[in-house]
Homo-oligomer: A and B are copies of this chain.
Amino acid sequence: MKFSSKIEKCGYSPIRKFYSYQVECEKQGKKIHHLNIGQPDIQTPRNFFTAVKDFDEKVVAYAPSPGIPELIGAIRRYYERIGVELSDSDIIITTGGSEALSMSFQCILDEGDELLAPEPLYSNYLTFTTMTGGKVVPIPTDPANGYRYAKRELLERYVTEKTRGLLITNPGNPTGVVLTKEEQQVIADFARDHGLFLIVDEVYREFVYNGQKLSSFGSFEGIEDNLIIVDSVSKRFSACGARVGALISRNKELIAHALKICQARLSVATLDQVGAAALYDTEESFFEEVRAEYKKRRDTVCEELGKIPGVSFDVPEGAFYLMASLPVDDTDRFQRWLFTDFETDGETVMFAPGDGFYRSPGLGKNEIRIAYVTNSDELRRSIRVLAEGIKRYNSL
């Protein structure tokens, strides 16, 4: 049987591809420390569960294709609070930020079209773009320079006739880079001047640790037609499994096109939308506590990583990921070995190998992405297991 060339080109997620190894390990009773997946252990605010439990319809019916009005209104008001004026019709509810991404790419990319994106990047961008026939053109960045990419001359170098947009994550996944307001203006000007879509994945908006006040690209003027904001309740409210996100744009034509896809896939899960709407009533103190907790976790990870000979990394400013270079030949092979041939006190560790976060072949082979989403004690132990793994792997 013949499969599509597009799916043949796609790889497995570096974050999830070891799932079968994980299941096997757990069967053997080996404890796995998870540094691989951005699944926070922060409790989902109770209002989510309360709203879901209070749902008293007799039928779990389809929701409207663009989303339930309660949730759309809650998101509009949230944006108003952070200085972004939106209409309800600028907001489409999606099945996680993931669907907002794939829907955006489907609306703008044809076979051979190009989307610029700083590298390393969130690996799933590659699958979603590849499935449209389009491709990501990576903008190289340098950890020695803090992975910063918002430089006009750098971006200009990669623009071709085929370029349709620029895709960024801010705060960055997997790098933790947070753009300054000046850098955001560089990005906005670049997109506007070239008539490019500017797709900004801002799902980590609340997670900045150096006291910055992060502005949404939604508050920048002159890019109304260019801007597509990808948003989600997953990280903001630690509700990843709700699969509720949003595609936000003031470009009416884009929204009209996206609605065709929305109608075809019918709707987003009704109960989760009800729960998500309630999440937007969460008090501001929740974010302050969560931010303080993540800052502590980041510091713990950096402290412990700093003790491992040969490991290098840039201290992330936001989100909850960190890219690190390890003194091993191939982090993918190293991960397999950690599953099959390693344990220390019955424990092993799981990370996301770095090459999956690069589009450029050969890059990232000795890097890993760490998600610091468990508590500090657990993280400390995870990194120590990693350290022991590196030592033993290199003495084979």
Contacts and interface: CB of A to CB of B under 8 A. Distances in A.
The 8 closest A-B pairs by CB, nearest first: A241-B270, A127-B264, A13-B263, A60-B241, A124-B264, A16-B263, A243-B269, A98-B265
A264 B7 contact: no
A106 B7 contact: yes
B253 A268 contact: no
Contacts of A113: 4
Contacts of A10: 257, 260-261, 264
A52 B271 contact: yes
Nearest to A56: B49
A357 interface: no
A312 interface: no
Contacts of A48: 60
Contacts of A110: 4-6
Contact of A53 (B53, B270, B275): B53
A131 B111 contact: no
B265 A102 contact: yes
Contact of A197 (B1, B64, B251): B1
A13 B98 contact: no
Interface string A229-252: 000000000111111000000010
Interface stretch (A37-45, A209-217, A299-307, A339-347): A37-45
A1 B271 contact: no
Given A4-B110, A60-B240, A98-B265, 8 more contacts: A1-B254, A10-B261, A13-B65, A37-B62, A39-B59, A48-B60, A60-B241, A128-B264
A369 to B, nearest CB: 15
B43 A61 contact: no
Interface residues of A, number: 84
Interface in A100-159: 102, 106-111, 113, 124, 127-128, 131-133
A240 B7 CA distance: 29
A356 to B, nearest CB: 10
A241 B63 contact: yes
A251 B43 CA distance: 39
Given A1-B197, A243-B268, A254-B1, A263 B12 contact: yes
A274 to B, nearest CB: 10
A392 interface: no
A283 to B, nearest CB: 18
Nearest to A61: B241
Contacts of A43: 58-59
A65 B52 CA distance: 23
A11 interface: yes
Given A107-B7, A110-B6, A240-B62, A195 B98 contact: no
A98 B103 CA distance: 14
